[in-house]
Structure 1
Amino acid sequence: MAPVRVTEDTARYIDSLVKELPKTDAYNFRRKAVTSEVTDVQATERVDTSRVTTRLMDRDCEIVLPEGIELDSYRQNPIVLWGHDQDRPCGKCLWIKPDADGLIAKTYYTPRPEAYQGEWLPDFVFSMVQAEVLKGKSIGFIPLEMREPEPAEVEANPAVQCVITRSLLLEYSVVSIPSNPAALVETVNKGFSLDNWGITIVGKTKKPTPKKPVQKKANVYGPMADAVKALKMDPNKIAEEAVAALLKRWEV
């Protein structure tokens, strides 16, 4: 049910929870991403402190209450992943806790061991965090309890459809997500062509370029040329007529 590696104790705990959950897709493992400013980066200690989720409505029109996120199981193996890839850890979580606005965590990006050869992923990820290129964090969790939004929540977010009141955190990742996903759509709508940049929009069918009609060249030789093209010449008949003409001239 959860596409992440967990400890044996956590696996057993998940199994016990899953047996009690409704058998619908709403209670499957899911991810939620957030883009926020990293509040603190300490280069010498290779750490950043940032928000990994908020209580704001997300793009799925859902609200995940931070006070209802269970953290104990995650704290047993607090690995931080790159892009939710369980085979590409980039660090570990030193601490994680809820506040009034969401979850805040301190991420430690592991230094390269002396004997290690090749590129070191945590170096790349941390350098991008320092450069404020990577600002996204995303949690992977299992919803445990949910309800319909209350009137005050609907008033604040008219599009909200569901409130997840209790959930189990399994991992969080450093991710690359756009700060304003509508900007790209706005650029396209203003008439800029992505084809010139070599960008393909996934799921969009490219319209075939209409072929230009073939225009016939003007006849520059006039009607005489058309008459010549219409002639059907028989080489044998022409030879016979030429020989007959020569014999007639010889007789004369």
Structure 2
Amino acid sequence: MSAPRLTKVYKAATEALADKRQVRVICSTEEVDRAGEIVVQAGIDFSHYMASGAGTVLWNHDTDKPIAKCVDIVVRNGRIEALVQFPPEGEDEEADRYYAKIKFGSVSGISIGFAPIEMEPLDRSNPKKGPQKYLKAELLEFSFTPVQANRGSLVIERGAGAVWKVGASLNLSASDEAGWDEGQASESIFDKAGFGSDTPDPTFARKGFLLYDASRPADRKSYQLPFAKMVDGRLVADAEGLKAAGEFLQQSSIPEDVAEKARAVINHYEGKMAKTDKPVAKTAPAIKVKGLYDIGRLASLLSELGWVHDCSVWEAQMEEDGSGVPKMLADAMQAVAAALLAMTAEEVAELLAQITPEGEIAVKAGIVPATASPIKKAFAAARVKAGRKFSASTRSSMRSACKSIMDGHDALVALIGVEEEDDEEGEEPEDVEKTAKPDRGAAVLLNQRQRRLEVMRRQAA
């Protein structure tokens, strides 16, 4: 008979938390955190933090976002536990928004901010920059956060009583336009559903959200994880909205059967967008390599990384701090080098593909087989072209061009008054000194050009 009794007591306690807009949390534990550090719980002083009777609770360590207060804090079972009180509903819009996420379960992490007082290194070989064990510290604040450093710092009790259901529509058109804004999307749905009037339409509102609390359908805070927005008077599923909703869904603590239905909605629209060759979300524009120029830029980047890597190795050796930066840079160089090789292969292949038709000349001439690689065909085609002779029409055009050049030359000679002599042996005309005395260099240059033109004229004859 004890089990039902315990269940009843627990249910009453959690419902009381919901009525008071309170949540109970584990602020910190003595386990090794994600940074490899340890905070001794008994050494944390929170007397100044609670000096006024309540400590400040922030959102993600942002001092501009105090969203609640700590009304009770204690070290229990080797960890710090606290009771958090949120403002009455409607008094602080920002606090209401974050409380809805915490109560829903999409945010469950807790993180402390503290001032170290006494500590000792966990890595004796790197005492200054390595991980520390904080023996004494002063608590400055703690925050709700989507990702906490201490894995055991979590919300352990939150308000109960919500009846989560999935009412999302599966018949919306899809959009992959960039610029998703969760707040604007929600407001556009609520405005269309008339939530600012006396007769809101919950049936329409729930179409654009993954989840809603069926126990309070007329309350806009009952609607969580929007994935759609109003566009030109129509409700449209948004690719980025679906992605954001899916990420929060993975962190939520809603019943598994409800979560499964919500995931089915996301999968439905992902499949729908895939059929139209549209991505589910555009987190960044696709990178397009436009030619061999970008290969050079990537090679330059790799060279710069190499220089930075060498500098970091030198610094690590000088400071003897066991820095992991050189390895990180070396890994980055490996990744960039792999990209450079892949890009080079792709771009060179594309370039050679453009000259493949000319390679067919060599194939037709029987120099290379049709199965030869593009580069072999290209070189063979070049050899074929190199052995060609000028056609009669081409030779005639060249003669005409040379004649025009020579006519221009004769006119120029007549204009400047320099007599042309037969300098076949490369000797300078005798009258250059007399005619071009003011500028001997110009006269020499003129005669050199005359020789070149004479050779061209004779070759074309």
Smaller-chain TM-score bracket: 0.5 to 0.7
Counterpart CA distance in 1 for 2:40 and 2:138 is 12
Q: Which residue of 2 aligns with 1:135?
A: 108
TM-score normalised by the chain length of structure 1: 0.55
Q: Which residue of 1 aligns with 2:77?
A: 100
Q: Does 1:86 align with 2:66?
A: no
State the 1:229 CA deviation: 7.6
Q: Which residue of 2 aligns with 1:75?
A: 50
Amino acid at match of 2:119: M
Matching of residues 1-252 of structure 1 within 5 Å: 42-76=17-51, 78-113=55-90, 120-147=93-120, 162-177=132-147, 198=283, 207=339, 209-210=343-344, 211-213=347-349, 214-215=351-352, 216-219=355-358, 231-234=394-397, 237=400
Counterpart CA distance in 1 for 2:356 and 2:79 is 73
Gaps of 5+ in 2: 1-12, 123-129, 152-280, 286-328, 366-383, 404-461
Counterpart CA distance in 1 for 2:60 and 2:132 is 26
Cα 1:137–1:237, aligned 2, differ >3 Å: closer, same or farther?
A: closer
CA contact (8 A) 1:97 1:104 kept: yes
CA contact (8 A) 1:63 1:163 kept: yes
Counterpart CA distance in 1 for 2:111 and 2:65 is 15
CA contact (8 A) 1:109 1:126 kept: yes
Q: Please report the RMSD computed on the Cα atoms of aligned residues, expressed in angstroms.
A: 3.9
1:158-215 CA distance string (max 9 Å, x none)? xx9643221100111111117999xxxxxxxxxxxxxx86379xx9676453323312
Cα 1:212–1:108, aligned 2, differ >3 Å: closer, same or farther?
A: farther
1:215-239 CA distance string (max 9 Å, x none)? 223346767996568934428749x
State the number of aligned residues. Answer: 171
Q: Which residue of 1 aligns with 2:378?
A: none
CA contact (8 A) 1:80 1:93 kept: yes
CA contact (8 A) 2:111 2:150 kept: no
TM-score normalised by the chain length of structure 2: 0.32
Counterpart CA distance in 1 for 2:395 and 2:81 is 92
Cα 1:142–1:178, aligned 2, differ >3 Å: closer, same or farther?
A: closer
State the 1:76 CA deviation: 2.8
Counterpart CA distance in 1 for 2:136 and 2:47 is 13
Counterpart CA distance in 2 for 1:170 and 1:62 is 18
Counterpart CA distance in 2 for 1:164 and 1:178 is 18
Q: Which has the larger radius of gyration?
A: 2
CA contact (8 A) 1:47 1:106 kept: yes
CA contact (8 A) 1:95 1:106 kept: yes
Identify the structure with bigger relative contact order (alpha carbons < 8 Å, sequence gap 6+).
1
Counterpart CA distance in 2 for 1:111 and 1:141 is 28
- The structure with more helix, counted as a fraction of residues: 2
State the 1:84 CA deviation: 0.6
Counterpart CA distance in 2 for 1:180 and 1:73 is 23
Counterpart CA distance in 1 for 2:115 and 2:19 is 35
Aligned sequence identity (%): 23
CA contact (8 A) 1:66 1:99 kept: no
Amino acid at match of 2:348: K
